[in-house]
Chains A and B, each alone.
Chain A
Amino acid sequence: MKINTKFWLTSLAATMMSSPLAAQEAAGIDQRVNEVFANLTGPFVNLIFAPLPGTSFPWIVLWLVVAASIFTIYFGFVQFRFFSHAIQLVKGDYSDPNDAGEVSHFQALATALSGTVGLGNIAGVAVAVGIGGPGATFWMILAGLLGMASKFTECTLGVKYRNEYPDGSVSGGPMYYISKGFKELGLPGGGILAIVFSVFCILGALGGGNMFQANQAHAQISGIVGDYPGWITGIIFAAVVFAVIVGGIKSIANVTEKVVPFMGILYVGAALIILLVNYDKIGWAFGQIFTGAFTGLGVAGGFVGALIQGFKRAAFSNEAGVGSAAIAHSAVRTKEPITEGFVSLLEPFIDTVVICTMTALVIVISQQLIVDPTTGNYMLNEAGNAIATIDGNSGVALTSAAFASGISWFPYVLAIAVILFAFSTMISWSYYGLKSWTYIFGEGKTSELVFKVIFCVFIVIGAAANLGPVIDFSDAAIFAMAVVNIFCLYFLMKLVKKELFSYASRLKSGEIKKFAH
């Protein structure tokens, strides 16, 4: 609260005296916020991204990939076997007309998607390709395909073990399936693990679901209107988010929820147009992606660097194994929890395999990354930690420049898209964070208000801090959720297998059938 008041006062002061002194003071605030933030989060970030002994490979990346591979094998490639069934479920082929008016599979999927499709697909991919080269795209797609199995596992459990209250409202997510599932299996420690997950989920909500969004939205706006202090964007965003989550002004959220899918379609449409115009380069771009995946094409860290970036950004974008989607999906009304698992496996597919790949292809095709003409490899920037780009762009600015090379006015549309995506992701994550918060501190007006205010304060900090520390903290917090979630999923996956076996046999025997609509 104290920090918030301070920001408001400083904002007022800066508006009143637009002198060079005030501007200097304003820049100073950004710098101070950045320093304090980087120092505070450093040890946590280092722990999560610690490399495996004797290598430069972060253990957390291996953790996610191994889990996704195990789930894929354990459930017999469920993401491919039930892919078309998932689409039929979303279409409503198996929905009982008597349940009309409840949350549909489509709605649960769309809500979860609006929390994941966003900056991860636009800025995150640019970070992956900018550091890991085009080869990172290959690993990103692979991670997306494998991640479908992780998502299936967690969302099935999310619906199966949610809490249903007497008034008909529901609360679900990893904290509920960890505590209830462990109890059912007679395993100890479920209660503690659920709380640890909730703590990380709150940090994830404040990091990736908030600060990263605010930060990149500011980068996008200042790229168009010119540079200005980040905390100003932060305060504006915080005020709007505050109005929605505290003030209950539903109209803003409703408008966003309706505009965001439209923006998503527009984004994919623009990418497709650029790809169609440059259709002769698509083959070359895929060539770069495949060659880069195994050789690195000169990027820092070679092909392992490409792999790490690909997996990291895919996980950050589609959140498979993180557990966040299980919170969003648990609201669906279904007699068969596993049907929501099937539907949720479409999420990493749409998010990563389709949208992220589009972004990566546009960046590669637009040739924003500088190639050394003599070796054919990518040239590194001065710092040697990323590929040199034409205008020195990185993150969302790189994506923006790539789209601008095909459609000159697109950066303006992209700026609006980024702001809306950032906003809808914040709204979704404020909900995930809140659910974890109330799991620990109990439900109640005051408890909820405290979290919501903290959430808004972090928007300001996120917009003011530099991309480096923000992205590190965001990744670390979200991956910390995956540490607990996946650990627990290993114990709980046999419960999902039982459901899968029962459902598959009933589907085969015709007991579960389509409804005539």
Chain B
Amino acid sequence: MTAKIVIGLDGTDTGERALAFAKDLASRVKDCTLLVIYVIEWSPFTFQTPEENEQRHKRREEEIELANSRIVAPAVEALKKAGFKASGLVRHGDVAETINALAVENGGTQIIVGRASAGGFSKRIFGSSTQNLVMHADLPVTVVG
């Protein structure tokens, strides 16, 4: 059986645990590739100043570069070192929607994410990205505590 496990990282400890769980799982499957995704929270419906708009393209490149160099590239590197077939992706958007969309787009068979790492008032009202992903994903989702 071939499998493609998609791992959603958020740059925190829970993401690391999700990564460890995915490695464990992948090692039990014969032909398994890993796709590491980091989503930069962004909405097309926010209000910005003209200056922010002018600089937006540059900021976007910087954000992608930073997410890649700090989070995604080291994770992919570590997975490759451990003998796994792995690749990484960074994209802007709504975290839950984007992880799901990228997983489907890239032929993923399941998604592994860490549990919500932060609490707070807004999370109580709107739910966390993890909650949203679990409720709306098109693929099986494993939440690592």
Contacts and interface: CB of A to CB of B under 8 A. Distances in A.
B56 interface: yes
Contact of A100 (B53, B61, B98): B98
A169 B48 CA distance: 15
A157 interface: no
6 closest A-B pairs by CB: A101-B92, A104-B44, A331-B53, A168-B57, A168-B58, A431-B50
B49 A102 contact: no
B61 A257 contact: no
Contacts of A102: 56-57, 60
A328 interface: yes
Interface string A92-136: 100101101111111110110011000000000000000000000
A280 interface: no
B106 interface: no
B54 A331 contact: yes
Q: Is the interface of A mostly helix, strand, loop or mixed?
A: helix
A452 interface: no
Interface in A381-436: 427-428, 431-432
Contact of B92 (A92, A100, A253): A100
A257 B47 contact: yes
Nearest to B39: A100
B63 A111 contact: no
Nearest to B43: A104
Given A106-B45, A111-B49, A517-B97, 11 more contacts: A100-B93, A103-B56, A107-B44, A107-B45, A107-B47, A168-B58, A171-B54, A253-B51, A331-B50, A333-B56, A428-B49
A170 B42 CA distance: 21
B40 interface: yes
Interface of A: 92, 95, 97-98, 100-108, 110-111, 114-115, 167-171, 250, 253-254, 257-258, 260-261, 327-328, 331-333, 427-428, 431-432, 517
B101 interface: yes
A108 B53 contact: yes
Nearest to A332: B53
A253 B49 contact: yes
A162 to B, nearest CB: 10
Given A102-B57, A102-B60, A110 B47 contact: yes
A95 B57 CA distance: 16
Nearest to B55: A169
B58 A101 contact: no
A101 B60 CA distance: 6
B44 A95 contact: yes
B56 A111 contact: no
Nearest to B92: A101
Given A100-B42, A101-B63, A101-B92, A333 B47 contact: no
B46 interface: yes
B55 A107 contact: no
Nearest to A165: B58
Contacts of B48: 103, 107, 110-111, 257
A135 to B, nearest CB: 35
A258 B47 contact: yes
Given A103-B56, A168-B58, A170-B57, A97 B101 contact: yes
A107 B53 contact: yes
Contacts of B45: 104, 106-107
Contacts of A260: 47
A167 B58 contact: yes
Interface string B56-92: 1110110110000000000000000000000000011
A475 B15 CA distance: 57
Given A100-B98, A101-B60, A333-B57, A428 B44 contact: no
Nearest to A170: B54
Contacts of B55: 169
A357 B47 CA distance: 24
Contact of A111 (B42, B50, B91, B98): B50
Nearest to B53: A331
Nearest to B44: A104
Contacts of A98: 91
A261 to B, nearest CB: 6
Interface in B1-43: 40, 42
A209 B110 CA distance: 54
A100 B57 contact: no
Given A95-B44, A101-B63, A111 B53 contact: yes
Nearest to A431: B50
B46 A169 contact: no
Given A100-B93, A101-B92, A111 B57 contact: no
Contacts of A517: 97
B60 A107 contact: no
Contacts of B101: 97
B22 to A, nearest CB: 24
A324 B54 CA distance: 15
Contact of B61 (A95, A168, A171, A428): A168
A431 B51 CA distance: 7
Contacts of B51: 253, 431
13 contacts: A95-B44, A98-B91, A100-B98, A102-B56, A107-B45, A168-B58, A253-B51, A257-B48, A327-B50, A328-B50, A331-B50, A427-B50, A432-B50
A92 B46 CA distance: 13
B45 to A, nearest CB: 5
A167 B46 CA distance: 23
Nearest to A164: B57
A478 to B, nearest CB: 17
Nearest to A115: B50
B49 A100 contact: no
Contacts of B64: 101
A257 B46 CA distance: 9
A210 B42 CA distance: 32
Contacts of B42: 100-101
